[in-house]
Chains A and B, each alone.
Chain A
């Protein structure tokens, strides 16, 4: 198994007027081909920052430093803007959280899907179209040939997320980053989309970096899981082990927060994570 992504001691600092915010405080992980890693954590734990800084899409003000940040052996943090552009959408692709805003409302699906691959690989429009129709079929959009020429508003939320996935896979990426791909969808669609991503990951054998706050998603998708808290990875390991016997109190807290049908009494309060206690532990 070849190594797709190698991240070593990644830091993201955002200078603000009130002082520097250390969004990500030196985290390390790696991803092999065909493997799925879930980054789990609450809002503000730095998981999205991590994902975005890998491809250089962090806010312009943020400073990203890393001892190693390599995609397929190429050091991402020393590439020029142009080289980075050639990489994005080809070797690495991203699925964003909200499919309602991640598609340009004034362009047809066809334009949005084919543009990147035509630029990256110099394929003809006709070939790019064929590939787009193929992928739309694969992600479960019926009548792909006709629907290719429709605009985003003519699709439902779930369909749009399917289109986003198809679009991300146009360049046959080695690494797919999914930044909370199901958060904006309702529960039944969530399951379908996760299923779809998992099937595609097995079929196309790309490495998947999944950002989520939902242990349900972790259980369904992950080979390995890293739990982030306050910009650090506090626990990581094979998904089943972490889920079964979480070591870090934060992970224990997170898992305890999940309501379980049958075990959680309706109307009762769910456990709350005591951040003060955790913060003290982190500092010591």
Chain B
């Protein structure tokens, strides 16, 4: 019976020793996914923001004399173009850098639009319940039953491909996760006493939704936003690849893959480079989102 004989002083000594004064989140940051993901994401964002400083060429500038110049690791490379040139002689490094702008920009703005739509709908449905909830739940299920790529294709084909159309269409299509999460979160909080207490201080319904309930959903919504962003970046590339997203000559990774398709057997690097970048970005965003999810302790069903 050693445990019984352990002096209390020893137990208390252990418990005080094992209480380092360090915030919870720093400890959790040790988990690498958020660091790796966040690091790559930060780097790519910086590269995208500083694109004009980093690239020495205009990404749309054609130079038909220097077509299919090879990247640096191959023999017979042109030192002026570090990652070679494409079929129109455009500098591939510059195009990749500017492509990051498109991917991140579209990803970010689409998620913004979708979060706005989804969160408002979810809040309304969860807060008012009843008929409002029925209507919005119907909207959510309708949206879930629509195949995103197909609808996006149709919409872009009708409206014509442009950056704004792409953002609007995608924004109108990916809000469902936000709505579902906001709705269930609001449902759980709606009957808390502090909501009633807020009513008792004379707060209106709108104010309660925005200032009392929304802060409670913040961490979950941020996690959803990062995971949704990875989704959107892939969607944009897919649509651009199909020729219904970003219009050439704007450099988009999806578009670059499409343009390199013809030379897949001879110059595979034309596809591998933007493909790799896309892979890396989506991986980074997902890692970051997962890390964030673990950090905030939110549970998100995918």
User: Which chain A residues have a beta carbon within 8 Å of chain B's beta carbons?
Assistant: 55, 57, 81-82, 84-90, 93-94, 96-98, 101-107, 115-116, 119-120, 164, 167, 171
- B202 and A90 contacting across the interface, CB-CB below 8 Å: yes
Q: How far is the CA of A103 from the CA of B197 in the complex (A)?
A: 8
Q: How far is the CA of A115 from the CA of B198 in the complex (A)?
A: 10
Q: Which residue of B lies closest to A92 (CB)?
A: B200
Chain A residue numbers with a CB within 8 Å of B215 are 104, 106-107
- B212 and A85 contacting across the interface, CB-CB below 8 Å: no
- B201 and A88 contacting across the interface, CB-CB below 8 Å: yes
- B194 and A103 contacting across the interface, CB-CB below 8 Å: yes
Q: How far is the CA of A119 from the CA of B198 in the complex (A)?
A: 12
- B202 and A94 contacting across the interface, CB-CB below 8 Å: no
- B196 and A96 contacting across the interface, CB-CB below 8 Å: yes
B119 to chain A, nearest CB (A): 15
- A94 and B193 contacting across the interface, CB-CB below 8 Å: no
Q: How far is the CA of A104 from the CA of B125 in the complex (A)?
A: 21
Binary flags per residue of B196-212, CB closer than 8 Å to A gives 1, else 0:
11111111100100011
30 residue pairs from A and B, CB less than 8 Å apart: A81-B204, A85-B202, A88-B200, A88-B201, A89-B203, A94-B197, A96-B193, A96-B196, A96-B200, A97-B193, A101-B194, A102-B193, A102-B194, A102-B196, A104-B194, A104-B198, A104-B216, A105-B194, A106-B215, A106-B218, A107-B211, A107-B212, A115-B201, A115-B203, A116-B202, A116-B203, A119-B203, A120-B202, A164-B197, A167-B201
B258 to chain A, nearest CB (A): 46
Q: How far is the CA of A85 from the CA of B205 in the complex (A)?
A: 10
A110 to chain B, nearest CB (A): 13
Q: How far is the CA of A96 from the CA of B192 in the complex (A)?
A: 12
Known: A103-B194, A104-B198, A119-B202. 10 other contacts (CB 8 A): A88-B200, A89-B200, A89-B201, A101-B192, A104-B216, A107-B211, A115-B201, A115-B211, A119-B207, A120-B202
Q: How far is the CA of A104 from the CA of B190 in the complex (A)?
A: 12
Chain B residue numbers with a CB within 8 Å of A104 are 194, 198, 212, 215-216
Could you count the A-B residue pairs with CB atoms below 8 Å apart for me: how many are there?
66
Chain B residue numbers with a CB within 8 Å of A116 are 201-203
Q: How far is the CA of A105 from the CA of B194 in the complex (A)?
A: 9
- A89 and B202 contacting across the interface, CB-CB below 8 Å: yes
- A57 and B199 contacting across the interface, CB-CB below 8 Å: yes
B199 to chain A, nearest CB (A): 6
- B196 and A93 contacting across the interface, CB-CB below 8 Å: no
Partner among B201, B202, B216 whose Cβ is within 8 Å of the Cβ of A106: B216
- B193 and A101 contacting across the interface, CB-CB below 8 Å: yes
- B218 and A57 contacting across the interface, CB-CB below 8 Å: no
Q: Which residue of A lies closest to B199 (CB)?
A: A57
Q: How far is the CA of A167 from the CA of B198 in the complex (A)?
A: 11
Chain A residue numbers with a CB within 8 Å of B197 are 94, 96, 102-103, 164
Q: How far is the CA of A106 from the CA of B215 in the complex (A)?
A: 6
Chain B residue numbers with a CB within 8 Å of A98 are 193
Q: Which residue of B lies closest to A104 (CB)?
A: B194
Q: How far is the CA of A103 from the CA of B212 in the complex (A)?
A: 10
Q: Which residue of B lies closest to A113 (CB)?
A: B201
